Amino acid sequence: MFKETTKTQRTIMMVVAILGGVFLMALAPTMAMKTLKIALDQAFTRLIPHDADFYPAIPVLTATYSIWIIIFVFAGSMALMLSKKLMQGAHWARATVLGLFAAPAVGGMTMVIPWFVLVLAEYPEKGVPAATISGMPTVAPVLFISLAIYYVILFSDTDSIKNKLQKFVPFTLMGVISGMVFMNGQHGVRYFIHIPGNFMKNAEGLIVGNPNPPVITSPLAHYITNLEHLHWQTFEPLAEPILYSPQTLALLLGGFMLYVSSALLIIAIPLMAMKKKAGWYIATSTALATAFVSVQGFVVRNSTEWLQGGMLSFLLFVVLMLPVFKKFFLAEGDEW
């Protein structure tokens, strides 16, 4: 897929890989951690006392931000190690670095969005106090710098403007949809792990920990069984338990599976850039599976976020199947 590069283009790629690598190792982790700390503090002090549904964001964001921070460091380190190979014009190194900066671009996107939900958003209908913090999170430069380097690596060759514009479409969709389905996954996991019985209202009407939570031997204490006994929207006890709630499976697939989908789309980027057919098959099958699960989640839970994710995932599937784009990812003779 990559064309030959000039010495100037190789120099540019080497320089941005070095600068980007240093940035990801030295600055990005601190930016991300500051964002996480502020978001969690706002959730603890402003949101959770008025709505226990916000509590699952604490373990979810703690885990996912921590994983992204670790990825930043490894991606930066590998970018530094591959910078010499970029100068030498090695296509495999260029494809790898493309993937290395796709990861923090997606990660930055998934770190910026919760800021709007937990820090900036207003919830007067829940009695939540007005936001006291404004502006963008400190992690925002990770998104924009990584994305800029991603495009520098993608377009730094002697290919035609027409081909570069055609490459822009699938390689942009891959990153955007990876980030979007990851955020939809956050939504699914948040409600999948939520145990409403762990919380109660105190005398002032604020949410506090329940001193007598469901015992470990109760179905109300387990992720898989609690929604057979609770209304899936209000979490009020049902008069009679139901035999099977489709909500649990929808949350499992629309949560943890979408995390895997996001990771697979990132992994597919360097493979597709190297015209490895495995990359195209990973991307198309992931897009198709993600579209199916997301639409299924919309039907079960009436979630427009999942519907949007499903539609975009199917759009990616269609784009990757079109000959005008597929020619960049499959070598001649590797037709599906």
Q: Where do the domains of the chain lie? A: 1-159, 171-336
Strand duo 207-209 + 199-201: pairing: antiparallel
pLDDT at 205: 84
Report the run of H or E that residue 166 belongs to, with start and end. helix 161-192
For a pLDDT cut of 90, what percent of the chain falls above it? 90
Give the pLDDT band of residue 83 (cuts 50, 70, 90): very high
Q: Is residue 2 over pLDDT 80?
A: no
Cα 308 to Cα 311: distance, rounded to the nearest angstrom: 5
The two structure tokens encoding residue 104: 């923090």
Q: Give the integer Cα–Cα distance in Å for 133 and 121.
A: 10
Whether 270 has a pLDDT exceeding 80, the answer reads yes
pLDDT at 331: 77
CA atoms within 13 A on the CB side of 76: 21
- Over range 123-134, report the average pLDDT: 92
pLDDT for 86: 96
Mean pLDDT along residues 217-238 = 93
pLDDT at residue 110, rounded to an integer: 96
pLDDT of residue 4: 87
pLDDT at 204: 86
Mean pLDDT, the chain, integer: 94
- Which pLDDT band holds residue 203 (cuts at 50, 70, 90)? confident
Q: Tell me what pLDDT residue 332 has.
A: 72
- The number of beta carbons lying within 10 Å of the beta carbon of residue 59 is 12
Separation CA 159–CA 290 (nearest Å): 32
Model confidence at 334: pLDDT above 90 = no
Per-residue pLDDT band for 330 (boundaries 50, 70, 90) equals confident
